[in-house]
């Protein structure tokens, strides 16, 4: 009897292991960089012992006054809004091509029109920001855009390969509309596996200047974070961006903790018209890979930015803070500063040139 039970258990475990193994072969998990791409990585000064490295020491987690290194097991309150978040659905296909426009889709997904070019950043239109449909569910009412709502995309920018930034179903739905992909070195292996033509994929290391046409320069810049899709870590590069046109300078931090790179970038570009910075999913147990709102204010000043859009909140609950805390804290911390804080609703069109555009305190209407 015991032998039969043991045998049944072993067979069950083998079936489970086989099922997991087959599931992990799904293309959404990607494959490790190889060939000439891996050779480029090995020649990168930031790629050491098989992993990309930050410019300064950056532990992902630390222990903060507790024997538990992560706050996933801590008491979690008000992580999700009690009612749908107010949103507006701008028709992106009918935008005036002569205007520079920014639209936030929630979390770290953005659409921009700069110099007539249409740019999409880290789009996640799936209801979950995870490989399985029960983790990181989008807040009610926030997932109002789909791939069908997008115009043709001149440039798809990917900051790094985490699930809440690189979403396989969204990318595949957008594929026919994407003219160019820009990403950190190694991330192109995903797009290659997903059937994108090699000529459309532009991978770069930090401090790389990409000028694929006359009126738009894309600078791939450093960030302070990490990468990893499942079990592997730091095999692909995480990046920020500076987008430069004859009329505009825009900075995107990607996911990033605070660091000296912000002041260096601000000096290099002599300031920005708009900075879009990581302002959510922070925690005292991981203080180096995301910024606290007060650090976001300091980074904005370091960048010498005229305006700030705080991102990385408003759609998914990944960290242990109330859903509306990031926007409340950044609002308080930005008072009497030499930049304009822009807090659009999800889907609301921001006229980058209009210094008098006013935004509501929409988070106060969620009850």
Instruction: Give the β-pairing of 47-48 and 51-52.
Output: antiparallel
Is residue 186 within 8 A of residue 236, CB to CB? The reply is yes
pTM above 0.75, yes or no: yes
Is residue 300 within 8 A of residue 277, CB to CB? The reply is yes
39 Cβ neighbours under 8 A, 6+ residues apart: none
CA distances from 337 to 5, 294, 300, 331 (A): 69, 12, 10, 11
d(CA 342, CA 276): 10
CA atoms within 13 A on the CB side of 75: 1
- Evaluate whether the domain defined by 33-365 bears CATH number 3.60.15.10: yes
Q: pLDDT of the chain along its 367 residues, tens only?
A: 665 554 545 554 444 444 444 444 457 678 889 999 999 999 999 999 999 999 999 999 997 554 344 444 455 689 999 999 999 999 999 999 999 999 999 999 999 999 999 999 999 999 999 888 888 999 999 999 999 999 999 999 999 999 999 999 999 999 999 999 999 999 999 999 999 999 999 999 999 999 999 999 999 999 999 999 877 899 999 999 999 999 999 999 999 999 999 999 999 999 999 999 999 999 999 999 999 999 999 999 999 999 999 999 999 999 999 999 999 999 999 999 999 999 999 999 999 999 999 999 999 999 8
Residue 19 pLDDT? 40
d(CA 312, CA 299): 15
**Torsion of Cα atoms, 183 then 309 then 169 then 144, to 10°:** -160
Is residue 343 within 8 A of residue 331, CB to CB? The reply is yes
């Amino acid at each position: 009897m015991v032998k039969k039970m043991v045998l049944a258990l072993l067979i069950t475990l083998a079936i489970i292991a086989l099922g997991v193994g087959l599931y992990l072969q799904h293309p959404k998990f990607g494959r490790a960089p190889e060939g000439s791409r891996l050779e480029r990585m090995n020649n990168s000064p930031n790629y050491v012992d098989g992993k990309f490295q930050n410019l300064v020491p950056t532990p992902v987690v630390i222990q903060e006054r507790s024997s538990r290194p992560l706050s996933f097991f801590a008491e979690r309150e008000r992580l999700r809004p009690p009612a749908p978040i107010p949103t507006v659905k701008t028709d992106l296909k009918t935008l005036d091509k002569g205007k520079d426009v920014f639209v936030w889709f929630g979390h770290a997904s953005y659409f921009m029109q700069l110099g007539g070019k249409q740019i999409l950043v880290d789009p996640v239109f799936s209801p979950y920001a995870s490989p399985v449909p029960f983790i990181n569910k989008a807040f009610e009412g926030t997932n109002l855009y789909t791939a069908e709502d997008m115009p043709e995309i001149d440039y798809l920018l990917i900051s790094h390969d985490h699930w809440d930034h690189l979403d396989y179903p969204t990318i595949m739905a957008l594929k026919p509309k994407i003219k160019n992909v820009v990403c950190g070195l190694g991330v192109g292996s995903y797009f290659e596996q997903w059937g994108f033509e090699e000529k459309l994929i532009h991978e770069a290391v930090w401090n790389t200047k990409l000028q694929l046409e006359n009126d738009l320069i894309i600078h791939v810049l450093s960030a302070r974070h990490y990468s990893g899709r499942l079990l592997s870590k730091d095999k692909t590069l995480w990046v920020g961006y500076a987008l430069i046109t004859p009329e505009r300078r825009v900075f995107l931090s990607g996911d990033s903790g605070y660091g000296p790179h912000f002041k260096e970038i601000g000096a290099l570009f002599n300031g920005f018209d708009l900075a879009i910075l990581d302002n959510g999913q922070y925690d005292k147990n991981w203080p180096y890979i995301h910024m606290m709102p007060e650090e976001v204010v300091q980074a904005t000043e370091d960048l010498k930015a005229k305006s700030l859009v705080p991102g990385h909140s408003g759609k998914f609950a990944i960290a242990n803070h109330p859903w509306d805390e990031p926007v409340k804290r950044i609002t308080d911390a930005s008072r009497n500063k030499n930049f304009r804080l822009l807090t659009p609703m999800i889907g609301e069109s921001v006229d980058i040139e209009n210094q008098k555009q006013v935004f509501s305190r929409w988070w106060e209407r969620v009850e």
